[in-house]
């Protein structure tokens, strides 16, 4: 399996390639991807070895459409990435709305909440169930990714429910870190810390002009 940093860079490359496809670009060189992604050409070539792409040449570079498709095959299944969300508050609704525009790449199959006024409704194109139905709804669904957007007091319980239902990847937006078993991939997206970090370096650049 490629390292996490390699996957992160491949995701960036694929986004760059998709943008160039939309602009009618047919070929790109490693130096082009390096410049646009903030890497160096040698790193780009090493990363592309992870997807087994050998279609480039010194005269024409990479065929943009072929390379984008090769990266896509590594990153996502043909049927899309099956996902669920727990916590249909303001942030949860925004995330549901965002991913509803990204079908079929991302497939949000269910949302969960404890608010009875939301249960049984279709919210941003996604069916909402009660949180105590997680195990029942996800049984045999092979869900890859769970998104947590609940208050911090419920975050760990939500994570435990997802793991218990067989989910192997979790993105946690609750303002507190959660813990999962080692076989589950976890991203703790603590937004307050991200903004605090950005604000700090913004002040540094304002005072010193650079870092």
β-strands 81-86, 62-63 pairing: unpaired
Task: For residues 175-185, give the mean pLDDT.
Answer: 91
37 shares its domain with 119: no
Tell how far CA 55 is from the center of its chain: 27
Q: What angle do CA 106, 162, 121 make, to 5 degrees?
A: 65
CATH of the domain at 187: 3.40.50.720
Q: In angstroms, rounded to a whole number, what is the distance separating the alpha carbons of residues 51 and 54?
A: 9
Q: In angstroms, rounded to a whole number, what is the distance separating the alpha carbons of residues 210 and 203?
A: 10
Q: In angstroms, rounded to a whole number, what is the distance separating the alpha carbons of residues 44 and 114?
A: 46
101 shares its domain with 164: yes
Is residue 39 included in any domain, yes or no?
A: yes
Q: Find the range with the poorest average confidence among 61-65, 106-110, 153-157, 194-198.
A: 194-198
* Three-state DSSP state, 118: coil
44 shares its domain with 148: no
Residue with the bigger pLDDT between 56 and 19: it is 19
Q: Find the range with the poorest average confidence among 28-32, 145-149, 195-199.
A: 195-199
Q: Check whether 162 has a pLDDT greater than 60.
A: yes
In what side-by-side order are the strands of the sheet with 145-148? 122-123, 126-130, 106-113, 81-86, 145-148, 169-172, 185-188
Tell how far CA 88 is from the center of its chain: 19
Cα dihedral 148, 152, 153, 157 in deg (nearest 10) = 30
Task: For residues 2-19, give the mean pLDDT.
Answer: 91
95 shares its domain with 182: yes
User: Could you tell me the residue range of the domain that residue 164 belongs to?
Assistant: 81-193
Is residue 123 included in any domain, yes or no?
A: yes
Q: What angle do CA 37, 42, 46 make, to 5 degrees?
A: 90
As beta bridge partners, residue 61 has: 57
CATH of the domain at 44: 1.10.10.10
Residue with the bigger pLDDT between 4 and 146: it is 146
179 shares its domain with 141: yes
What's the Rg (C-alpha) of the chain?
20
Task: For residues 40-49, give the mean pLDDT.
Answer: 91
Cα dihedral 153, 155, 160, 163 in deg (nearest 10) = 180
Q: Each residue of 47-102: pLDDT tens digit?
A: 998 888 777 778 888 999 999 999 988 888 777 889 999 999 999 999 999 988 88
């Amino acid at each position: 399996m490629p390292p996490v940093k390699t996957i992160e860079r491949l995701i960036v490359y694929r986004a760059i390639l998709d943008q160039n496809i939309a602009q009618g670009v047919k070929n790109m060189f490693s130096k082009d991807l390096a410049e646009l992604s903030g890497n160096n050409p040698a790193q780009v070539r090493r990363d592309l070895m992870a997807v087994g792409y050998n279609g480039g040449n010194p005269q024409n570079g990479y065929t943009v459409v072929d390379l984008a498709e090769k990266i896509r095959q590594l990153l996502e299944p043909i049927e899309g990435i099956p996902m669920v969300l727990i916590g249909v508050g303001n942030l949860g609704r925004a995330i549901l709305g965002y991913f509803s525009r990204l079908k079929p790449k991302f497939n949000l199959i269910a949302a969960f909440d404890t608010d009875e006024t939301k249960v049984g409704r279709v919210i941003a194109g996604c069916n909402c169930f009660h949180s105590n139905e997680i195990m029942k709804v996800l049984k045999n669904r092979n869900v890859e990714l769970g998104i947590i957007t609940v208050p911090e007091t419920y975050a760990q319980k939500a994570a435990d429910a997802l793991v218990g239902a067989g989910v192997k990847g979790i993105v946690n937006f609750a303002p507190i870190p959660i813990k999962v078993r080692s076989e589950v991939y976890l991203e703790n997206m603590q937004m307050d810390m991200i903004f605090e970090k950005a604000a700090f370096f913004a002040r540094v650049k304002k005072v010193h002009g650079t870092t």
